[in-house]
Amino acid sequence: MNITQTEEIRCSWCLSSQTYIDYHDNHWGIPIYEDQKLFECLVLESAQAGLSWITILMKIDGYRRAFHQFDVNKVANMSEEEQEELVLNPEIVRHRGKIKATVTNAQAFLKIAQEFGSFSKYFWAFSDNKVIDNRPKTLADVPVVTELAQTISKDLKKRGFKFVGPTICYAYMQAVGMANDHIEDCIARKK
């Protein structure tokens, strides 16, 4: 009797480490509607600018401690002294501009939440509250930037956000599930 073992297929970008696989299988591309989680993802995606995602994944716990478990109200009120202390914190990316941007972005995030009822309502309105399922056949079919990401980036910048260029915005759209870019045969599509 021949037993055929089926191999689980995943997006190839996540195969280099178990940390990546866990993130891919349990977080990436799953729609998020809670403001606190949307804020957390925005902070992490902005911190990733110019770095590899694994660098940020390895520091998530440090980010949680440094930025009050991503309590947007507490982050928005962080003092200059607190921000300067974080420049010395090895548990996060010690980039003064990104640290200051996190506080600035928290303040802008709160303004949007007040204007629209929640950041989630504002953000998801860009896609008419729908997941954009690109159904890429291979990783080469996954865009780095889209017209919608450019639109979101432009609007966020107009509202005072920093480190939210179109590439970061598209990565954010993927991370929070607005854009589903799991390849067609990926096991994450079956979940």
Question: Is residue 13 annotated as a catalytic residue, yes or no?
Answer: no
Please report whether residue 9 resides in a domain. no
Q: Which of 45, 63, 122, 124 is catalytic?
A: 45
Please report whether residue 180 resides in a domain. yes
Q: How far is CA 94 from the centre of its chain?
A: 19
Q: What CATH number does residue 107 fall under? A: 1.10.340.30
Q: How many other C-beta atoms are found inside a 10 Å radius of the C-beta of residue 136?
A: 17
Please report whether residue 47 resides in a domain. yes
Please report whether residue 83 resides in a domain. yes
DSSP string, the chain: ---PPPPPP--GGGTT-HHHHHHHHHTTT-----HHHHHHHHHHHHHHTTS-HHHHHTTHHHHHHHTGGG-HHHHHT--HHHHHHHTT-TTS---HHHHHHHHHHHHHHHHHHHHHSSHHHHHHHTTTT--EE---SSGGGS-S--HHHHHHHHHHHHTT--S--HHHHHHHHHHTTSEE---TT-GGGG-
Q: 6 forms bridges with which residues in the sheet? A: none
pLDDT for 86-102, tens place per residue? 999 999 999 999 999 99
- Name which of 72-76, 112-116, 162-166, 186-190 the model is least confident about: 186-190
Domain enclosing residue 74, as ranges: 30-190
To the nearest whole number, what is the mean pLDDT of the chain?
Answer: 94
Please report whether residue 166 resides in a domain. yes
Distance CA 179, CA 127 (A): 9
Please report whether residue 19 resides in a domain. no
> pLDDT at residue 189 above 60?
yes
Question: Is residue 124 annotated as a catalytic residue, yes or no?
Answer: no
Question: Is residue 80 annotated as a catalytic residue, yes or no?
Answer: no
Question: What is the pTM (predicted TM-score) of this model?
Answer: 0.93
Distance CA 146, CA 154 (A): 12
Q: Which of 23, 28, 63, 122 is catalytic?
A: 23
Query: Looking at the 3D structure of the chain, how many domains does it have?
Result: 1
> pLDDT at residue 2 above 70?
no
Q: Which of 28, 53, 124, 170 is catalytic?
A: 53
Q: How many other C-beta atoms are found inside a 10 Å radius of the C-beta of residue 48?
A: 22
Please report whether residue 37 resides in a domain. yes
Q: How confident is the model at residue 59 (pLDDT cuts 50, 70, 90)?
A: very high
Please report whether residue 127 resides in a domain. yes
